[in-house]
Structure 1
Amino acid sequence: MKLFGSTMNNLEQGLKYASLKNKTIAHNLANIDTPNYKAKDVTFKEQLGQAQSRIEAKRTHSKHIPFSTSNQGIEITSRENVTYNHNGNSVDIDKEMTELAENQIYYQALIDRVNGKFNSIKTILRGGN
């Protein structure tokens, strides 16, 4: 029996995404003056949505429509066809800082949820006190 079901695994995947997103934003900011550098982005939410739309459902009748499954994960992509600077660089500092703030809020929300799970266990172990 799993203690949390799949909750902790889902939170772990979210934290991995947020951590990689933070590193990618930092990398973009570090290369803000690098000529022809193409900013990177981390896609997870889009792939999660695609994967959820292809969930395998149990078919109890042969006329039921089948669903396909896909194990897509976190992916880093380059922002092509975009140039913000005269040197071919595609890093927009305002966009990066906005994404960094959003990512920090997302990360903190996940950490708060993990802490809530562990606090529930501590409460149970203390007998509800």
Structure 2
Amino acid sequence: MDLFGSSTIKSLERGLEGAQLRQKAISNNIANVDTPNYNAKQVSFKHTLSEAMNASNMKAHRTNDQHVEFTTTKRSPVVVTNRGTMYNHNQNNVDIDLEMAELAKYQIYYNALIDRINGSFNSLQTVIKGGR
């Protein structure tokens, strides 16, 4: 029995990895706000959604014949560089207000994921203690 390998915990773990990558990109952007010729970086899941939408081999484990078939494959986010804009005279395109807002947003998202993982572990702890 794999207690920590449940699909819920694995999904939350992948969410944390994505949130961590986003926060790292945002932190790098903030740290380089005054660096000449620095281009802001963003984390993109768009390619993953496109691949999933275009996939023709969608399969899944079905418990009922009326369930829709689909596959689940682990796809990774991609860090992309934003080269289409310029905000500063030194060819730097980091918008500090946007980056700070994004950092706050993803911090809330990260904390929500941590709370869900804690809830999962608390449920396991309750089961181990026999409901006490």
CA shift at 1:124, angstroms? 0.9
| Identical-pair percentage | 48
In the comparison of the two structures, how many residue pairs are matched? 120
Who is 2:103 aligned against? Answer: 100
Contact 1:47 1:72 in 2 (8 A): no
Q: For residue 19 of structure 1, what is the aligned residue in structure 2?
A: 20
Q: Are residues 1:113 and 2:116 paired?
A: yes
Structure 1 residue 11 displacement after superposition: 1.0
* Alignment RMSD: 2.3
TM-score norm. by structure 2 comes to: 0.79
CA distance in 2, matches of 1:90, 1:19: 22
Q: Summarize the alignment of residues 52-91 of structure 1 with structure 2, pairs less than 5 Å apart.
A: 52-53=52-53, 54=55, 56-58=57-59, 72-91=75-94
Write out per-residue CA displacement over residues 88-127 of structure 1, whole angstroms, 9 at most, x where no aligned residue: 1010001100110111011001101100000001111111
2:32 matches 1:35: no
- CA distance in structure 2 between the aligned counterparts of 1:109 and 1:68, rounded to whole angstroms: 26
* Deviation of the 1:72 alpha carbon: 3.6
Which SS does the other structure have where 2:39 is aligned? coil
Q: Distance in 2 between matches of 1:91 and 1:39?
A: 5
For structure 2, the residue ranges without an aligned partner over 5 or more in a row are 60-69
Give how far 1:36 is off.
Answer: 1.2
Check conservation: 1:51, 1:69, Cα contact below 8 A: no
Which stretch shifts more, 117-126 or 71-80?
71-80
Change (3 A) 1:70 1:110: closer
Q: Does the aligned pair in 2 maintain the 1:28–1:91 contact within 8 Å?
A: yes
How far 1:71 sits from its partner (Å)? Answer: 5.5
Which contiguous aligned blocks of 4+ residues in structure 1 show a shift greater than 2 angstroms? 1-5, 46-58, 67-72
Structure 1: runs of 5+ lacking an equivalent: 59-66
- Is the Cα–Cα contact under 8 Å of residues 36 and 87 in structure 1 kept in the other structure? yes
Whether 1:126 aligns to 2:125 is no
Aligned residue type for 1:101? A
